[in-house]
Amino acid sequence: MAKVLPFLALLALVYALPAASGGGGVIVGSGRSFRDLLRNYGLPAGLIPRAIESFDLDPSSGLLEVRLHRTCYARYDAGLAYFDRVVRGNLSYGALSGVVGWSQEELFLWFPVKGLLIADPSSGVILFDIGLAQKHLSVSAFEDPPDCQPAALAIFGEDEEPRGDWISVDSS
């Protein structure tokens, strides 16, 4: 019995390691490897801001989950986007569908990004589905990942910090 116990402990460890390291056919990574993953799937590398903590992709289902260090705003040529701490979607070649955790500002309103598609790579156009409408944007706007910014910096820009004198606070 004393000889069997260490063997059982070792066996349990061997079976536990793949689960703890993201085994089971799931691709796990962060930062640079995520950019490579997007390129391998025919998408521009800068779709998600630089604040990537980690990601998981299940190749059999295409389910992609990207975890950011924090919620953030990002500026693209096409406008302002908001990212939850976790962004999910179904990844296939040239497309990300069923997106959750990503919103795009349009005419001072926020719309959830439902999906994106590059139907013809030679066109240089990426199609964004924002629920009520679809936007055709230049793929080049998403080649380099933007920085993840807090709300004030993203909305007002680096040179224009919000001024405190426009907010009236009653301290009584």
Residue 128's Cβ-count burial label (10 Å; 0-12, 13-18, 19+) is: buried
Give the pLDDT of residue 131: 85
And the tokens for 22? 């993201």
Give the pLDDT of residue 13: 34
Position 39 in a domain: yes
52-105 pLDDT, tens digit each? 999 999 999 999 999 999 999 999 886 899 999 999 999 999 999 999 999 999
Position 92 in a domain: yes
Give the number of domains in the chain.
1
Structural domain of residue 92, as residue ranges? 25-157
How many CB atoms are closer than 10 A to CB 98?
13
- 85: phi then psi, degrees, rounded to nearest 5: -65, -30
150-163 pLDDT, tens digit each? 875 555 555 444 44
Q: Is the overall model pTM greater than 0.85, yes or no?
A: no
Could you give the CA distance from residue 85 to residue 100 in angstroms, rounded to a whole number?
A: 11
Pairing assessment for the beta strands 79-92 and 63-68 based on DSSP bridges = antiparallel
Position 106 in a domain: yes
Position 9 in a domain: no
55 in helix, strand or coil?
strand
104 in helix, strand or coil?
strand
**CATH number for position 78:** 2.30.240
Position 3 in a domain: no
Position 164 in a domain: no
On the question of pLDDT at 165 being above 60, the answer is no
Position 6 in a domain: no
Give the pLDDT of residue 153: 55
110-147 pLDDT, tens digit each? 999 999 999 999 999 999 999 888 989 999 999 999 99
